[in-house]
Amino acid sequence: MKEKNKGKRVVVSASERVSMLPPYLFAQIDRQKEAARRKGMELIDFGIGDPDLPTPAHIVKAAIEAVKVPANHRYPKGGGSEFFKEAARNWMREQFGVSVDEGLDVGAVIGTKEGIAHVPNFFCNPGDIVLVPNPGYPVYRASAILADAVPVDLPLLRESGFVPDLKAIAREVVDSTRLVFLNYPNNPTGAVLTLDQMEAMVAWARREDVLIISDNSYSHIRFDGRPPASFLQIPGAGDVCLEFHSLSKTFNMTGWRVGFVAGGSNLVRTFMGAKENIDSGVFTAIQKAAETALGSNISGYFDIYARRREVLVEGLRKLDWDVCDSPGTFYVWVKLPRETQSMTFAKKLITHTGIIVTPGSGFGTFGEGYVRFALTIPEDSIHQAIGRLEQKELFSHRIKAWLKKGMK
């Protein structure tokens, strides 16, 4: 048998599910960046939403001390250590007025991306519909595909404030819908919800027996003067909602990979019970750092993003760019002139100015015609970027001509 197959090339192909995944968003942009670097161009990168500010020193110190404890080197508790869960409960109570003791529970996740990606596998049967915001964070669609569920677009339109109209969904779609992903403050648009809008969404989910998956990763990054909000503030939401909270953006801890899920006790128990079959939990020392973070005063971080946002928005508007007036997250969502392809624009922007933005098409079909700026670079770099755009006379009403002819 071995002799018969000797020299035969064996091709192992991916599953049909994997072949259905969309292409990697940054692959083409990365190639353009590398080409610009080879030319010696200094890049200004608004592309990736990874905070440039360091994790606060007292959080790092807590992690260092916890790493020194031998007991923390062993397997952690799968659902999260009690000290971490208590910190998460306190956070929900202090930040949102939500008592996790009243029919609600919490559990640790290895960052909210990991947690969210499991949801369709744990709650959907093959063929169930998952409503996916478009434009939206790509993991929502990918997780549905990998669970053999059917992702269906939930359009986020500018004229509706980038808030979905759940009542407009066709009855046959609603009848087969198992869960809906909602992300407010929203990546990439920066939109936020009012409590009245959240209340209406919870009422719809209860009426239609649909599970809300709330990605609340940017809960505290908003510039409209309103306090952070949680779906779990709405009476009865725990029956139909799992909400994911991340320490990545709130505490500049993207690389630490820690967050938590909150929701109705039965939902959390089901989620964590399934998850324990897949991983062994969050490193205990990182949970100790997260406990310290959740007990911290965080108000000072967001003043920096507010100032950066002011500089970028004001600078772009002076250049006649069409900036969407959305008050949440550390992203700025910008509309390009009609029929301008966002990927084409982003690639040429790198080539001619060294400025990197994320093309809206990477977030879904309804993101086409937009680009996203991340406020995760120093204010001086933002001023420099505005200066480059002004120097090149790249005004909004001239973009189409620039794309057609190129810039000299």
Half-sphere exposure of 342 (CA within 13 A, CB side): 24
Query: How many other β-carbons are positioned within 10 Å of the β-carbon of residue 363?
Result: 26
Q: Please tell me the pTM assigned to this model.
A: 0.94
Residue 10 domain flag: no
Which residue in 329, 18, 287, 33 sits closest to 146, CA to CA? Answer: 18
Beta strand 370-374 pairing with 358-359: antiparallel
If asked whether residues 190 and 230 sit together in one domain, one would say yes
CA angle 261, 361, 260 (to 5 degrees): 5
Same domain, 275 and 323: no
Q: Are residues 267 and 395 in the same domain?
A: no
Burial of 206 (0-12, 13-18, 19+ CB in 10 A): middle
Domain residues for the domain of 324 are 16-45+299-405
Domain stop point among 241, 275, 294:
294
Quick one: 165 and 62 in the same domain? yes
For CA atoms 208, 213, 214, 215, give the dihedral sign: negative
End-to-end, the C-alpha distance of the chain in Å comes to 64
In a domain, 263, yes or no: yes
Give domain status of residue 330, yes or no: yes
**What pLDDT sits at residue 6?**
65
| Domain end (from 294, 324, 353) | 294
Looking at the fold, whether 134 and 82 belong to one and the same domain comes out as yes
- Residue at 220 is within a domain: yes
- Phi and psi at 117, nearest 5°, equal -65, -25
pLDDT of residue 291: 98
pLDDT of residue 21: 86
pLDDT at residue 16, as a whole number: 87
Give CA–CA dist 352/405, Å, rounded.
Answer: 12
Clarify whether residues 290 and 330 are in a common domain: no
Distance CA(290)–CA(282), nearest Å, equals 10
Yes or no: say if 189 and 363 are a contact pair by the CB < 8 Å rule: no
Token couple for 271? 């989620």
Other C-beta atoms lying within 10 Å of the C-beta of residue 84: 26
Same domain, 187 and 276: yes
Give the number of C-alpha atoms closer than 13 A to the C-alpha of residue 4, restricted to the C-beta side: 1
243 located within any domain: yes
Q: 316 in a domain, yes or no?
A: yes
Residue 405 vs residues 31, 354, 359, 370, 399: alpha-carbon distances, Å? 22, 18, 20, 21, 10
Say if 3 falls within a structural domain. Answer: no
Specify the pLDDT at position 299: 67
pLDDT at position 2: 54
Say if residue 23 is in the same domain as residue 142. no
| Number of folded domains that form the chain | 2
The CATH number that applies at residue 394 is 3.90.1150.10
Last-in-domain residue among 265, 294, 323: 294
Are 238 and 361 in a shared domain? Answer: no
Q: Is residue 11 part of a domain?
A: no
Phi, psi of 149 (to 5 degrees): -90, 175
If asked whether residues 281 and 330 sit together in one domain, one would say no
Q: Are residues 82 and 126 in the same domain?
A: yes
* Average confidence (pLDDT) per 10 residues, the chain, 408 residues: 64 86 75 84 92 95 98 94 97 93 92 97 98 97 97 98 97 98 98 97 98 97 95 96 96 96 97 95 98 87 94 96 96 95 92 94 96 97 96 78 69
Same domain for 180 and 89: yes
Domain harbouring 102, CATH code:
3.40.640.10
Residue found under tokens 């950066």 = 308
